């Protein structure tokens, strides 16, 4: 895969011009027949690569795919995305990541073009159509205590927000795990933990981003949006995922090593609902009050109507 990724990178960087099979084989240290096989593989994936006698190969157009070859040469991370498990279709990337968590290194990602049974919190459905969103789960083996685990969701939504801000967008975060654009949910995070008294065995951080969808099923229309629907522009999903993974690795390292990191402050500064009147549905009960803050461990602090402060680990919030 690394060689194919190198070939793709070279074709991208010489886009518009031809590069000879000989040069390619020299650069990659493989035979010209192998180069030809790689080219055939990329064409099968939907890349249009022109070949001309005596001139070589030229990239004409590329599909929007999350295949490892698209991701790996763009990544600058040390461990995040260094191992990529790719599926054109899967039930849920979080499910496969859980299954593989014990046998793969930290930072391994499971990514799919389509999920048949994508999941949200409390086993809710996550709509994951083919080829338009980012459906990705990261396997982590954190060394910190389980109490800190909610911060994994926080850094994931922060990484998505920062990647969107770098594109000139203005995302907001809705506690605990949504990223909103123009009030529409364009991203959700599902973190799952396997921990015992000794500590965390592994954590799976599942990130779903609606990138290029042009429509949603009726039951989601009011709530869900995609970057395309909001900005009118399609994005290359691989580029966005790479930006998110690079940022997330940096935040995860800070969370692990730097007790004075201001990641929580950065995240809080993007929150909607602070100082607003909300309801929170937590474990089947509904509480009303004003959302005042988020604690160091990621709990939402609600000032109830009687003036009492209550903190919540989990729940669904809405504005009143
Ligand atoms: C979430 O749950 O927001 C977490 C979503 C995590 C999805 C990723 S994709 C990769 C990985 N593999 C998985 O199987 N999951 C993760 P929650 O806060 O419970 O929100 C779920 C609710 O959001 C649903 O009940 C719908 O109302 C709504 N919803 C479903 N699909 C959506 C979509 N594509 N975009 C926006 N909202 C959606």
Give the per-residue pLDDT at 2.
Answer: 86
Distance 218 CA to ligand 1 centre (A): 15
Instruction: Give yes or no for residue 90 having a pLDDT over 80.
Output: yes
Distance 49 CA to ligand 1 centre (A): 37
Nearest-angstrom CA–CA distance, 183 and 225: 9
Give the per-residue pLDDT at 162.
Answer: 98
Percentage of the residues of the chain whose pLDDT score is greater than 70: 100
Give the per-residue pLDDT at 16.
Answer: 81
Give the per-residue pLDDT at 15.
Answer: 81
Distance 207 CA to ligand 1 centre (A): 9
Q: Which of 116-120, 156-160, 297-301 has the lowest mean pLDDT?
A: 297-301
Give the per-residue pLDDT at 6.
Answer: 96
Distance 126 CA to ligand 1 centre (A): 4
Residue 277: Cβ within 10 Å count: 13
Give the per-residue pLDDT at 160.
Answer: 98
pLDDT tens digits for 15-43?
Answer: 889 999 999 999 999 999 999 999 999 99
Nearest-angstrom CA–CA distance, 133 and 114: 8
pLDDT tens digits for 52-70?
Answer: 999 999 999 999 999 999 9
Nearest-angstrom CA–CA distance, 57 and 60: 10
pLDDT tens digits for 247-273?
Answer: 999 999 999 999 889 999 999 999 999
* Residues contacting ligand 1 via CB (< 6 Å): 92-94, 115, 118-121, 124-128, 135-137, 177-178, 185, 188-190, 206-208, 210, 220, 223-224
Give the per-residue pLDDT at 259.
Answer: 84
Q: How confident is the model at residue 317 (pLDDT cuts 50, 70, 90)?
A: very high
Give the per-residue pLDDT at 30.
Answer: 96
Give the per-residue pLDDT at 260.
Answer: 87
pLDDT tens digits for 168-210?
Answer: 999 999 999 999 999 999 999 999 999 998 899 999 999 999 9
Instruction: Give yes or no for residue 105 having a pLDDT over 80.
Output: yes
């Amino acid at each position: 895969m690394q060689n194919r990724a190198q070939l793709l990178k070279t074709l991208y960087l010489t886009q518009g011009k031809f590069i000879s099979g000989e040069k390619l084989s020299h650069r990659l240290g493989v035979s010209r027949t192998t180069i030809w096989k790689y080219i055939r593989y990329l064409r099968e994936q939907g890349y249009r690569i022109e070949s001309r006698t005596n001139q070589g190969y030229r990239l004409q157009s590329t599909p929007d795919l999350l295949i490892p070859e698209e991701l790996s040469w763009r990544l600058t991370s040390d461990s995040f995305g260094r191992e990529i498990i790719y599926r054109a279709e899967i039930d849920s990337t979080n499910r496969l990541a859980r299954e593989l968590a014990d046998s793969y290194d930290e930072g391994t990602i499971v990514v799919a073009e389509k999920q048949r049974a994508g999941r949200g919190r409390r086993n809710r459905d996550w709509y994951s159509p083919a080829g338009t969103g980012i459906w990705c789960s990261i396997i982590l083996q954190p060394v910190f205590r389980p109490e800190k685990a909610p911060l994994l969701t926080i850094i994931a939504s922060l990484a998505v927000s920062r990647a969107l801000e770098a594109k000139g967008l203005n995302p907001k975060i809705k506690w605990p795990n949504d990223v909103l654009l123009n009030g529409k949910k364009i991203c959700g995070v599902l973190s799952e933990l396997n921990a015992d008294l000794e500590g965390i065995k592994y954590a799976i951080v599942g990130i779903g981003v609606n990138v290029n969808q042009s429509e949603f099923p009726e039951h989601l229309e009011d709530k869900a949006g995609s970057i395309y629907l909001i900005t009118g522009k399609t994005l290359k999903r691989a580029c966005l995922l790479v930006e998110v993974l690079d940022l997330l690795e940096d935040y995860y390292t800070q969370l692990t090593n730097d007790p004075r990191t201001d990641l929580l402050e950065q995240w809080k500064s993007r929150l909607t609902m602070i100082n607003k009147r909300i309801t929170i549905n937590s474990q089947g009960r509904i509480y009303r009050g004003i959302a005042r803050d988020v604690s160091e461990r990621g709990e939402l602090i609600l000032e109830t109507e009687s003036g009492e402060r209550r903190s919540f680990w989990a729940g669904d919030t809405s504005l009143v």
